[in-house]
């Protein structure tokens, strides 16, 4: 008597897979998007004429402020009297804050439409448009600045709008390309976030010191994004089935593993590497808890999110309390960065409740999350503009800790790990309903005559005749 054994899906031979190319390009996309986002934070120091600005403020009667709570050795005016005259633009702090915040106005608006478009049309075109447009605008940033403050603000707003769909598009790409057991590998994509920021801030300072000056930083990172766009256009696809060069064996392997995970309603642990040392540690810890099942899946998310939210908040409180203890302050900031880099549970939670709409969900959530990019400059300014002392900054730290605590409590109370009923497309729901046999609704019990022979359906229900 022979027994048929279903063989597990077989992957293609060879070390390098097509899906690894998608992984590398997506990681570079994340890095480039953050590089073009943050480089202006460094370049603006060379763009602004600090001395001329201070001279104007002095002529207008602005008083320099002394900090009575300054640490020993720092009893000096807060304004540096030795500013450089090499800047071209006389933008006060409010104008500088508006320029930096302009990106987040567009970025916040762009998330929901970006997520919907990614789920509807696939991640390739949304990611391509996001990187190409924002990179082109980065190249045009110097011209925008020379054209005027409002032109530069509009440029930054459009950059944010273009980048609003990048993370949703990457989320959609991961759901269509990553086999269930390789989701942790694909989470390396989010490492590009921190690497891009680090490289951008370090390189921008050096580029500003060249003969060309601060415009070179925008040219370099913008050009990198344009070159990436060519590679993505030629080598990427929305799914393995649409890729023209993929090995058919690999395509079948990916489709088989992803389909099996979706039909069982279970998504494997998807720890997201969202930082350097801290992120790697959280990825391992999350995966450890889910694999060993010491606690339930929902409590795993609550624990990880608590470490990533409450610990940084507590660290800020300690910074405010220790005052001039430099060693403790540095240690707390390091601890805060170690924990705050994690967003493992949040992204994993989103993919579990509705993998078919992962792009839309992350778009909505990131839209609200990036409202802070707009609100923070105004809130900090309200505390510190008129009174830029250590006491005022301590109030900012206390407020940040309170916001972190409240946000975590809301998450812990309302989070769920159940797949949502609206995750399944209507066509699949109808197909599933049509495939069911027998009558299971007790409302039809009366008037149903069971067949005398007791025959049953394939699903084990008694066949019935409805008069």
Element (H, E) at 450: strand 449-450
Q: Judge whether residue 79 has pLDDT over 80.
A: no
Would you say 97 and 152 are in contact if contact means Cβ atoms under 8 Å apart? no
Q: What integer is the mean pLDDT of 297-312?
A: 81
Whole-number pLDDT of residue 466: 33
Whole-number pLDDT of residue 14: 77
Which positions ≥6 away from 316 have C-beta within 8 Å? 332, 336, 397, 398, 400, 401
Burial of 314 (0-12, 13-18, 19+ CB in 10 A): middle
* DSSP-derived secondary structure for 374-393: HHHHHHHHHHHSS--SHHHH
pLDDT, the chain, mean: 74
Whole-number pLDDT of residue 184: 63
The two structure tokens encoding residue 329:
């302050």
For residues 190 and 450, the model is more confident at 190
Sign of the alpha-carbon torsion through 69, 75, 77, 79: negative
Q: What percent of the chain has pLDDT over 70?
A: 67
Cα–Cα distance for residue pair 60/56, rounded to 1 Å:
6
- Looking at residue 295, the DSSP 8-state letter turns out to be S
Whole-number pLDDT of residue 25: 94
Whole-number pLDDT of residue 385: 64
Would you say 252 and 7 are in contact if contact means Cβ atoms under 8 Å apart? no
Which positions ≥6 away from 419 have C-beta within 8 Å? 265, 352, 353, 354
Residue 385: how many CA atoms within 13 Å on its side-chain side? 12
Q: Which residue in 363, 345, 1 sits closest to 165, CA to CA?
A: 363
Which range, of 148-162, 267-281, 401-415, averages the lowest pLDDT?
267-281
The two structure tokens encoding residue 105:
């106005």
Sign of the alpha-carbon torsion through 426, 432, 434, 439: negative
For residues 113 and 267, the model is more confident at 113
The two structure tokens encoding residue 433:
């309903």
Whole-number pLDDT of residue 280: 58
- Looking at residue 263, the DSSP 8-state letter turns out to be H
Q: What integer is the mean pLDDT of 221-234?
A: 95
Whole-number pLDDT of residue 332: 75
Whole-number pLDDT of residue 51: 58
For residues 58 and 238, the model is more confident at 238
Would you say 36 and 225 are in contact if contact means Cβ atoms under 8 Å apart? yes
Whole-number pLDDT of residue 464: 35
Q: Phi first, then psi: what are they for 36, rounded to 5°?
A: -75, -20
Task: Specify the 3-state DSSP secondary structure of 339.
Answer: helix
**Helix extents (H) in 140-189:** 141-147, 149-163, 166-177, 183-186
Whole-number pLDDT of residue 282: 65
Whole-number pLDDT of residue 124: 92
Whole-number pLDDT of residue 21: 92
- For 258-267, how does the pLDDT look when each residue is reduced to its tens digit (9 = 90+)? 754 337 322 2
Confidence band for 447, pLDDT divided at 50, 70 and 90: very low
Q: Judge whether residue 269 has pLDDT over 70.
A: no
For residues 95 and 144, the model is more confident at 144
The most confident of 164-178, 331-345, 375-389, by mean pLDDT: 164-178
- Looking at residue 244, the DSSP 8-state letter turns out to be S
Which range, of 123-127, 370-374, 394-398, averages the lowest pLDDT?
370-374
Would you say 349 and 290 are in contact if contact means Cβ atoms under 8 Å apart? no
- For 379-410, how does the pLDDT look when each residue is reduced to its tens digit (9 = 90+)? 776 776 666 677 777 888 888 889 889 988 98
> What is the residue extent of each domain of the chain?
437-467
Q: Which residue in 86, 73, 176, 81 sits closest to 124, CA to CA?
A: 176
Q: Judge whether residue 86 has pLDDT over 70.
A: no
Residues found in the chain:
467
3-state percent breakdown (helix, strand, coil) of the chain, nearest 5: 70, 0, 30
Whole-number pLDDT of residue 33: 93
Q: What integer is the mean pLDDT of 215-241?
A: 93
Q: Which residue in 251, 225, 227 sits closest to 238, CA to CA?
A: 251
For residues 20 and 86, the model is more confident at 20
31 φ/ψ sector (left φ>0, alpha ψ -120 to 50, else beta): alpha
- For 308-320, how does the pLDDT look when each residue is reduced to its tens digit (9 = 90+)? 788 888 888 888 8
Confidence band for 274, pLDDT divided at 50, 70 and 90: very low
Cα–Cα distance for residue pair 100/337, rounded to 1 Å:
22
Cα–Cα distance for residue pair 315/328, rounded to 1 Å:
10
Burial of 304 (0-12, 13-18, 19+ CB in 10 A): buried
Q: What percent of the chain has pLDDT over 90?
A: 16
Q: Judge whether residue 38 has pLDDT over 70.
A: yes
Which range, of 96-110, 179-193, 227-241, averages the lowest pLDDT?
179-193
Task: Specify the 3-state DSSP secondary structure of 49.
Answer: coil
Whole-number pLDDT of residue 349: 73
Which range, of 77-81, 159-163, 175-179, 190-194, averages the lowest pLDDT?
77-81
Q: Judge whether residue 214 has pLDDT over 50.
A: yes
Q: What integer is the mean pLDDT of 410-417?
A: 83
Whole-number pLDDT of residue 449: 38
Q: Judge whether residue 462 has pLDDT over 70.
A: no
**Helix extents (H) in 178-323:** 183-186, 191-208, 215-235, 248-263, 277-292, 297-322
Whole-number pLDDT of residue 234: 93
Whole-number pLDDT of residue 199: 87
**Helix extents (H) in 236-273:** 248-263
Q: Which residue in 2, 19, 67 sits closest to 388, CA to CA?
A: 67
The two structure tokens encoding residue 204:
């921008």
Confidence band for 174, pLDDT divided at 50, 70 and 90: confident
């Amino acid at each position: 008597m022979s027994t048929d054994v279903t063989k597990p899906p077989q992957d293609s031979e060879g070390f390098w897979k097509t899906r690894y190319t998608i992984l590398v390009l997506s990681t570079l996309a994340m890095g480039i998007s953050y590089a073009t986002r943050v480089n202006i934070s460094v370049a603006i120091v060379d763009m602004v004429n600090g001395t001329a600005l201070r001279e104007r403020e002095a002529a207008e009667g602005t008083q320099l402020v002394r900090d009575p709570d300054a640490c020993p050795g720092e009893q000096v005016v807060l304004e540096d009297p030795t500013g450089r005259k090499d800047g071209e633009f006389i933008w006060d702090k409010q104008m500088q804050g508006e320029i930096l915040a302009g990106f987040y106005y567009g970025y916040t608006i762009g998330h929901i439409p970006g997520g919907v478009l990614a789920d509807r049309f696939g991640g390739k075109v949304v990611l391509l448009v996001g990187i190409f447009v924002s990179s082109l605008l980065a190249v045009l940033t110097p011209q925008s600045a020379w054209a005027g403050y409002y032109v530069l603000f509009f440029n930054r707003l459009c950059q944010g709008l273009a980048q609003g769909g990048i993370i949703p598009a990457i989320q959609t790409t991961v759901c269509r390309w990553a086999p269930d057991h390789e989701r942790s590998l694909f989470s390396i994509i989010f490492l590009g976030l921190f690497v891009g920021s680090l490289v951008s801030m370090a390189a921008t300072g050096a580029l500003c010191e060249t003969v060309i000056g601060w415009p070179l930083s925008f040219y370099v990172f913008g050009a990198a994004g344009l070159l990436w766009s060519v590679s993505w256009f030629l080598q990427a696809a929305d799914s393995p089935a649409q890729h023209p060069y993929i090995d058919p064996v690999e395509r079948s392997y990916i489709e088989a593993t992803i389909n099996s995970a979706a039909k069982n309603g279970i998504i494997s642990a998807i720890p997201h590497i969202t930082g350097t040392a801290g992120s790697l540690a959280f990825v391992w810890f999350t995966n450890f808890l889910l694999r060993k099942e010491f606690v339930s899946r929902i409590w795993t998310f609550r624990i990880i999110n608590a470490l990533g939210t409450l610990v940084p908040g507590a660290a800020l409180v300690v910074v405010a309390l220790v005052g001039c203890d430099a060693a403790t302050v540095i240690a707390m900031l390091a601890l805060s960065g170690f924990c705050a880099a994690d967003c493992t549970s949040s992204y994993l939670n989103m993919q579990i409740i509705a993998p078919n709409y992962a792009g839309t969900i992350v778009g909505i959530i990131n839209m609200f999350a990036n409202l802070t990019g707009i609100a923070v400059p105004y809130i900090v300014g309200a505390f510190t503009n008129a009174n830029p002392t250590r006491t005022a900054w301590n109030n900012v730290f206390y407020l940040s800790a309170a916001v972190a605590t409240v946000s975590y409590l809301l998450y812990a109370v309302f989070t769920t790990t159940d797949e949502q009923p609206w995750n399944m497309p209507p066509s699949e729901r109808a197909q599933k309903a049509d495939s069911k046999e027998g009558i299971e609704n007790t409302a039809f019990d009366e008037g149903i005559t069971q067949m005398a022979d007791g025959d049953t359906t394939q699903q084990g229900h008694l066949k019935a005749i409805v008069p």
